[in-house]
Amino acid sequence: MTTAYLIGTCDTKAEELSYVAGCLHAWGMDTRVVDIGTRSDAGWVDIPAAEVAAYHPEGAAAVLVDDRGRAVSAMATALERFLPEQGDVAGVIALGGSGGTSAAAPAMRALPIGVPKIIVSTVASGNVRRYVGPADIMMMNAVTDLAGLNSVSRRVLANAANALAGAVLGDVPSAGDQRPAVGLSMFGVTTECVGRLVDALSADYEPLVFHATGVGGESLEKLVDTGAIGAVLDVTLTEVCDLLMGGELSAGEDRLGAAIRTRIPFVGSVGALDMVNFGPRETVPERYHDRLFYEHNAQVTLMRTTAEENRRMGYWIADRLNRMEGPVRFVLPEGGVSAIDRPGQPFHDPEADQALFDAVRERFRPAPQRRLVSTPYNVNDPEFTRELLVCFEQVMHGG
Q: What is the pLDDT of residue 126?
A: 81
Element (H or E) spanning 138, and its range? strand 137-141
Instruction: For residue 31, name the pLDDT band (cuts at 50, 70, 90).
Output: very high
Output the average pLDDT for the chain.
Answer: 94
Who has greater pLDDT, 178 or 315?
Answer: 315
Identify the helix (H) or strand (E) that includes residue 136. Answer: none
Pairing mode of beta strands 117-121, 91-96: parallel
pLDDT tens digits for range 63-100: 988 888 888 999 999 999 999 999 999 999 999 988 89
What confidence category does residue 42 fall into, taking pLDDT thresholds of 50, 70 and 90? low
Residue 43, pLDDT > 80, answer no
Residues above pLDDT 90, as percent of the chain: 85
Average of per-residue pLDDT across 384-388: 98
352-378 burial: b if 16+ Cβ within 10 Å, else e: bbebbbebbeebbeeeebbbbeebebb
**Could you read off the pLDDT of 240-268 as tens digits, one per residue?**
999 999 999 999 999 999 999 999 999 99
B/e letters for 234-263, b = 16+ CB within 10 Å, e = fewer, are bbbbbbbbbbebebebbbeebbbbbbbebe
340-352 residue pLDDT tens: 999 999 999 999 9
Using the predicted structure, report yes or no on whether residue 324 has a pLDDT greater than 70.
yes
Torsion of CA 115, 118, 124, 128, to 10 degrees: -10
pLDDT at 299 over 70: yes
Determine the pLDDT at residue 3: 95
151-176: average pLDDT: 90
Enumerate residues 6+ apart whose C-beta is below 8 A from 176. Answer: none
Quick check: 111 and 117 in contact, CB under 8 A?
yes
Residue 35's pLDDT is 94
**Mean pLDDT score, 160-165:** 97
- Of 50, 47, 37, nearest in space to 95 by CA: 37
- pLDDT, average across residues 45-57: 94
- The predicted-structure confidence for 96-146, as pLDDT tens digits, reads as follows 988 899 999 999 999 999 999 999 999 998 888 889 988 999 999 999 988
Ordered domains of the chain (ranges, CATH) = 3-169 (3.40.50.12020), 181-397 (3.40.50.12030)
In angstroms, rounded to a whole number, what is the distance separating the alpha carbons of residues 190 and 338? 6
pLDDT over threshold 70, residue 176: no
> 3-7, 146-150, 205-209, 318-322: which range is least confident on average?
146-150
pLDDT at 173 over 80: no
